[in-house]
Amino acid sequence: MNETIYALATARGRAGVAVVRVSGPQTFSAVSQLTGELPAHGRSLRSIRSLIGETIDQALVLTFQSPDSFTGEDVVELHLHGSIAIVDRVLRELGALPGLRFAEAGEFSRRALENGKLDLAQIEGLADLIDAETEAQRLQAMRVFSGELGTLVDSWRARLLRAAALLEAMIDFADEDVPQDVTPEVVELMTAVRTELQVQSDGVAFAERVRAGFEVAIIGPPNAGKSSLLNRMAGRDAAITSQEPGTTRDVIEVYMDLGGFPVTLIDTAGLRDAESEVEKIGIERGGARAQQADLRLYLAEEEPTIDRKSVDFVVQTKIDQNPAWGDLVISSKTGAGIDALRDTIVQKLTSQVNKGSVALRARHRDAMGRAMVYLQSACELLECGGDSELAAQDIRSAIQDLGQIIGYIGVEDLLGEIFSSFCIGK
Amino acid sequence: MKHVDFDVIVIGGGHAGCEAAHVAARVGAKTALITMKAGTIGEMSCNPAIGGLGKGHLVREIDALGGIMARVADYAGIQFRLLNRSKGPAVQGPRAQSDRERYRTKMQEEMAAQERLSVIEQEIVDIAVDAGAVSGVTLADGTTVSAKKVVLTTGTFLRGKIFIGKSQQAGGRMGERPSTPLAERLELLGLAFGRLKTGTPPRLKSSTIDWSVLELQAGDVDPTFFSFESARAQCPQVSCGITHTNERTHEIIRDNLEQSAMYGGMIDGVGPRYCPSIEDKVVRFQDKTSHQVFLEPEGLNSDLVYPNGVSTSLPLDVQESYIHSMAGLEKTEIAQPGYAIEYDYVDPRNLTHALELKELNGLFLAGQINGTTGYEEAAAQGLVAGLNAALSAENHEQVRFSRATSYIGVMVDDLVTRGVSEPYRMFTSRAEFRLHLRADNADQRLTQWGYDLGCVSEARYALFLAKMDALNALRERLDARKFTASELNAVDVRIGSGNSSRIGTVALELADCTVDKLAQIEPKLASADASIATQVQNDCRYVTYIKRQEREVKALQEAEGVLIPSDLDYAFIPGLSNELSQKMMAARPSTLKDAATVDGVTPAALLLISGAVRRHGYDLKHDRKNAV
């Protein structure tokens, strides 16, 4: 049986409150040696005493009885005063109790997974939730943590299971009273799942960006005011600015929260035929980074002749000095138009959020990608009257791959679906 | 050395017992088959048919290992049909109606003809145990017969109870006693038992059926046999009749449900979902107003007909009345009422992959006692148990059937690792390597192995080698010639004209390519034997898919020797079920081979684990997340 584990659940260091969590079968008996008898469910204010009876702290003690807890086991949370000394002492006292040990990294969530409180995707969502720094990251992680991906995968699996069961029934019960032409229903089920998979798969790239951060590159001719804009948006002098064209030689990056999105703003060297070797390299590097960025802002004082499709926004700078010719006009000096530009960028990102997927990781996308290949093969086989056992094999592989996102599926599920749908048996 | 009467004693003369005794004797063990009634050896107590989907595959595998079921079924076959003829070869299953009497007679002849095999007619009341291992059996008269190994195949006879309506009687089969003392003995070993039920339909008198109004179903014109040795039908062939239940039938059944033993709460056992009683069908599928009923003749000289599809535990008068409600059966007489039978089975998770009890060395269990249903499933287990009993009696290593090479392996593995929750029947969908485990290549998969183990005769082996030579010769001829896309198009093989030319076996991977078509292009191929050509075609047909599966199998085998790090975190293996990760954490196997033996592990799970082991080195180099 599982051992009882404990660990500090909040960040280490001085704070108002520090939470120590204990989980496992011996939780109540162990913790009550420090707190006195505890209610099975609820909260109480207790003195935490050492085994030799000295008072360590006054703490709010929350008790959760299995299975109604985060891990699914008996859990106690000690809400201590956030002092390093108190926390260390309490952890030492817990460690001295027989049968208790310090939790390994991730062990509480692992137990939640083992006990079916969370699926694999939810565990990933939880990790993202804890790491979330911006609102968009929080929203996205919350969708996964709340089980949206699991629900989707369940629905795909259920439909593919039905499709596989229809085919399997035709194969294994050919001499029985089962419907004969199931191809239309099977193809319909698979097509619907494929469409949904495609949508999710397409959205993974965006979701990954929300997790890892977007890159917005500022490009344009020298002395267009690129570094000034960077400094203005960053709210500090991150880049050196001067009247001299070609001041920025290397790529300068500033990380910021832009309307809830994690964004790295990238300043690049102005585009011109440089004579200096160093500046040339700088321009090349900047160009390469701008290519990979999610958005490109082209800054210019005068109306440029570039292909507008090659950039996302053309921004007219130094509006305090010139008449306006563009839709987006700013002055980094006066601050005019900066808020509008920021809103425009955020709007552009927000417009893609809806295309975002609840599948967040390359692991999810790979699994979905493999499943789509198998489903396409199965559809083609069935539509040209090919072997149903091959199509069935493809669907199985697809179910297997999708199942890997959250769990495993066995043949008994398949037979279960068959038997609940048909009257088998002569 | 201590004298023992027999190397192997097999208890029970059903399908499991016959196959077990025969294979034990074949591989050289001095063997006794002990049964309560020698006259019922080889009795088909349920429907008079062998084979089907999954089941036919099992029979072919038994034959590939020199077993007897296929030969006997071919001898007794009065109607042969290859099921799924329109589908691919992997899911085609041979099936045959049998003449019940010919089957039994032939089986008894086979047993009598086998060297080193004695048949003893006695009731066994106890298993003799000495120093923690089986030492023989105790007969009803008190004498003990000693043996190194014992195979128990008592079917439904363990505390068997028969139900017809409200009446019930103890019995293992209609008119035969159950073996209750043996059940008590097994109970003493502390084994986990379960209770299952199964049913049979009433038997009808053929002479009272109006066959003229019935649709008839004949066998295949070109019959497919079970044994690789059989070439032609050995007795006259007959047709089956088909009739249907109707609204009136269903009404009669609904009105009398409370009189059914199964619905009246008298039976606790779990019945098979795929073989429901007519009561079940009417209740569970209320929107279906008619069910098919096959009228299967029980033999050439028998007046009995087995109405397949209407098994029941209703009282006799209700049986009569619903039978009479069907077309063609209005005046039909019932020769023997249908009944339900409830019996004990031993949880097969008590067994090793050799079907030997973990708790009692030397005692093997096979057949329905392990929670399975069907003659074929029973016979296949008999083969596994008898073979391993004989091997271990001679102090040879036991053998394990692999899921990757046989349906037998799939079944044994399912049974001993997962147990059963309803009577276990073989389906092709249970085999993850279904495309490779075909009925037509059972010999290629198993005969060499069987020969090496000593259970395949020299004569059969010579036949096998000749076939392999013919297959290889044809493959060589096919590969000696390249076929261009336009040549293939000319004989109606669909392939884009841009494709490069390909050798014969690669051309046969195309969905509509056959050896016949290639022979139109290359006349040298025209002389190929039809069955050999079909076999090569089948081998080529699935090649892409089989390669995919082979990669999985190979990864598995290569991985078997791989060491599993002791700190491998099973809970974070994507796709591994909670149940399995817990078992793994409890067992902490040191290699993947050991992992494979952990209760409940599937090949898919092993793949996941081997992937995790590969990634493990990588993970260590990267900081893991803090406790959250």
- Residue B128: strand, helix, or coil: strand
**Closest CB from B90, B430, B626 relative to A411:** B430
* Whether B628 and A126 lie within 8 Å, measured CB to CB: yes
Distance CA B281, CA B270 (A): 15
CA distance A105 to chain B (A): 4
- Scan for tokens 């891990």, then name that residue: A71
> What are the chain B neighbours of A141 within 8 Å (beta carbons)?
none
> Which of A411, A418, A422 is most worth mutating to test chain B (most B CB atoms within 10 A of its CB)?
A411
What are the beta bridge partners of residue A274? Answer: none
CA atoms within 13 Å, Cβ hemisphere of B247: 0
Distance CA B514, CA B509 (A): 9
Report residues of chain B scoring pLDDT below 50: 618-628
Residue A249 has a pLDDT of: 74
Q: Is pLDDT of A420 > 80?
A: no
* Residue of chain B nearest A9, judged by CA positions: B628
Residue B626 has a pLDDT of: 33
**Closest CB from A108, A363, A425 relative to B628:** A108
> What are the chain B neighbours of A392 within 8 Å (beta carbons)?
429
* Whether A425 and B435 lie within 8 Å, measured CB to CB: no
**Closest CB from A114, A390, A405 relative to B578:** A114
Give chain A's mean pLDDT: 84
Residue A204 has a pLDDT of: 81
Confidence of residue A376 (pLDDT cuts 50, 70, 90): very high
> What are the chain B neighbours of A115 within 8 Å (beta carbons)?
578
CA distance A106 to chain B (A): 4
In chain A, what are the helix, strand and coil shares in percent, each to the nearest 5?
50, 20, 35
- Residue B298: strand, helix, or coil: coil
Q: What is the pLDDT of residues A232-282, one digit of tens each?
A: 888 888 788 877 777 777 788 888 888 888 999 998 888 777 778 888 888
* Whether B276 and A400 lie within 8 Å, measured CB to CB: no
Kindly state the tokens that stand for B86. Answer: 């329109």
Sequence spans of domains, chain A: 4-114, 148-208+360-421, 214-347
Q: Is pLDDT of A413 > 70?
A: no
CA distance A30 to chain B (A): 21
Q: What is the pLDDT of residues A147-167, one digit of tens each?
A: 888 888 889 988 998 999 888
Q: Is pLDDT of A87 > 50?
A: yes
Kindly state the tokens that stand for A417. Answer: 């679906």
Kindly state the tokens that stand for A323. Answer: 């008449």
Residue B70 has a pLDDT of: 97
Query: 1.10.8.50, 2.60.120.10, 1.20.120.430, 3.40.109.10: which CATH number matches A148-208+360-421?
Result: 1.20.120.430
The domains found in chain B, sorted by start residue, are 6-158+172-193+345-451 (3.50.50.60), 203-342 (2.40.30.260), 460-545 (1.10.10.1800), 561-621 (1.10.150.570)
> What are the chain A neighbours of B274 within 8 Å (beta carbons)?
173, 419, 424-425
| DSSP state at residue A251 | -
CA distance B500 to chain A (A): 22
What fold, for A4-114? Answer: Gyrase A; domain 2 (3.30.1360)
> What are the chain A neighbours of B53 within 8 Å (beta carbons)?
171-175
**DSSP track, A309-321:** GGSSEEEE--TTT
Confidence of residue A59 (pLDDT cuts 50, 70, 90): very high
The residue that leads in pLDDT, A402 or A424, is: A402
Distance CA A117, CA A104 (A): 19
> What are the chain B neighbours of A412 within 8 Å (beta carbons)?
418
Query: 3.40.50.300, 1.10.760.10, 3.40.30.10, 3.30.420.40: which CATH number matches A214-347?
Result: 3.40.50.300
Q: Is pLDDT of A105 > 90?
A: no
Q: Give me the interface pTM, i.e. the ipTM.
A: 0.77
- Residue B523: strand, helix, or coil: helix
> What are the chain B neighbours of A72 within 8 Å (beta carbons)?
none
Residue B153 has a pLDDT of: 95
Contact pairs from chain A to chain B, CB under 8 Å = 142
- Residue A260: strand, helix, or coil: coil
CA distance A112 to chain B (A): 10
Q: Give the mean model confidence (pLDDT) for residues A364-390.
A: 88
For chain B, the farthest-separated pair of C-alpha atoms sits apart, in whole angstroms, at: 81
